[in-house]
Structure 1
Amino acid sequence: MTFDALASQTQIETVKSNLSQRGVQVEVLADGASALQRIQSMIPAGASVLTGSSLTLTQMGFEDLLKSGEHPWNNLKDELLKAPMEQQYELRRQGTLADFFIASVHAVCETGEVLIASASGSQLPAYAFSSPNVIWVAGTQKIVPTLETGLQRVREYSLPAEDTAQKEMGRPGSFIGKTLIFEREAPYLGRNIH
């Protein structure tokens, strides 16, 4: 199976329906520019924002916007990266409490599950519980038929791509340390998952 083909309109509608039934608010936007505008409209001035490592956010210009400082938010990633290495671990923990956590995912299953893999797991608390507002930005190429196929996409497509990207930055590479399978959001938590 190829994991970079765009999904059909039928697959998109199936995912939209199944995610909505699981407490995820879904919006289908035309392109990265539209997604960038939508994200900007969702975050109020003064809100704290943390992003997970995401090629999608980089490609659509969100990371550049954050780095530019030309926004009304508190960019926690800037604070984290400026801190001495020995303080970054604690700042990462605190960052999971950001008002808005924005990242991508590795697979979205037509059956409604969402998969996120991580080497360290540092971003998983925000996805799963601690951030009151989570915004996922994902292209339709991440849609797969089943949870099993989603795990296959994570291991056979996402991991090799991330490993290569890490090595190109002079780092030792990547691995899957932890995988989150997001099944549904509990309504009583009062979180907004988009």
Structure 2
Amino acid sequence: MQSGEIIKQRYKIMAPRIIKALQDRNFEAYFCETAEEGAKKALSFIPEGETVSWGGSLTIHEIGLTKLIKEGNYQVIDRDLAETEEERIKMMRQALTCHTFLSSVNAVSEDGIMINIDGMGNRIAAIAFGPESVILLVGMNKICRDRDAAVTRARTETAPANALRLGLDLPCTNTGCCFDCSKKECTCSQIVEMRCNRVPGRIKVILIGEAFGL
């Protein structure tokens, strides 16, 4: 068996326990073995004609979900189409009241705590409150042993990688390591720990049995 297949098998074995942990915290949780299955599962929760938006998630793009949304019968708020920074910010605010918000998370502990780290805060704001429905697509590579390990992953792996992706001039882009900076463009300005869901059915988590996102 190839190494990739071994890892996928491990993800499949782990998934039921992670799903149970998320459900115990009142999140709806599902497992899909492939990206295609994950994207289709997400679409099954979005009624045609609804307004859909998303934050700066690589996962939802990598699995092809944003492409399917744009090709479907939905009203899309896509900040990447903005022609000015002012228009971009306006669209980010509009996304806070859309029907369905798509995203991923930066890390998930084995007992179901989800960690999100953000620069502007628009993504974590929409996940926490605003849109009627939130669908989180999460590669199983983001599963961590516990809450502290999840925070460490977000700070020391995700944040520097995202800063590099965005071409920012930060200590972490020059060294590859987090220096707990307070620069204006810091990508880890805000960190949110999601430990429970108070609105039944609002937040759905789709675990994907492959590695996606940062």
What range is the shorter-chain TM-score in? 0.7 to 0.9
Change (3 A) 1:105 1:111: same
**How far, CA to CA, are the matches of 2:158 and 2:63 in structure 1?**
18
1:54 to 43, 53, 57: 57
Matched, 1:179 2:179: no
**How far, CA to CA, are the matches of 1:101 and 1:143 in structure 2?**
22
1:192 to 182, 197, 202: 202
**How far, CA to CA, are the matches of 1:111 and 1:41 in structure 2?**
27
**How far, CA to CA, are the matches of 1:111 and 1:148 in structure 2?**
12
**Equivalent residues in 2 for 1:86-101, closer than 5 Å:** 86-101=86-101
**How far, CA to CA, are the matches of 2:91 and 2:11 in structure 1?**
41
2:102 touches 2:136 (CA, 8 Å); kept in 1? yes
Q: Which amino acid aligns with 1:71?
A: G
Cα deviation for residue 141 of structure 1 reads 0.7
Matched, 1:38 2:41: yes
Change (3 A) 1:84 1:160: closer
Partner SS state of residue 96, structure 1: helix
User: TM-score if structure 1 supplies the norm length?
Assistant: 0.85
**How far, CA to CA, are the matches of 1:36 and 1:106 in structure 2?**
18
Q: Deviations over 1:58-89 (max 9, x none)?
A: 111123334xx4211111115x7335322332
**Equivalent residues in 2 for 1:38-187, closer than 5 Å:** 38-66=41-69, 69-77=70-78, 81-167=81-167, 171-172=168-169, 175-186=187-198
1:166 touches 1:172 (CA, 8 Å); kept in 2? no
Partner SS state of residue 116, structure 1: strand
Q: Which amino acid aligns with 1:193?
A: I
Change (3 A) 1:102 1:49: same
Q: Deviations over 1:120-145 (max 9, x none)?
A: 10112211111111100011111111
1:132 touches 1:191 (CA, 8 Å); kept in 2? no
**How far, CA to CA, are the matches of 2:13 and 2:75 in structure 1?**
39
Partner SS state of residue 27, structure 1: strand
**How far, CA to CA, are the matches of 1:93 and 1:85 in structure 2?**
12
Higher strand share: 2
1:103 touches 1:137 (CA, 8 Å); kept in 2? yes
**How far, CA to CA, are the matches of 1:10 and 1:30 in structure 2?**
11
Q: Runs (4+) of structure 1 moved beyond 4 Å?
A: 5-10, 171-174
Q: Which amino acid aligns with 2:36?
A: A
2:133 touches 2:203 (CA, 8 Å); kept in 1? yes
Partner SS state of residue 97, structure 2: coil
1:13 to 3, 13, 16: 16
2:60 touches 2:103 (CA, 8 Å); kept in 1? yes
Identity, % of aligned positions: 21
RMSD: 2.0
Change (3 A) 1:8 1:41: closer
Cα deviation for residue 94 of structure 1 reads 2.1
The answer for unaligned runs of 5 or more in structure 1 is: none
**Equivalent residues in 2 for 1:22-37, closer than 5 Å:** 22-37=25-40
**Count of aligned positions:** 182
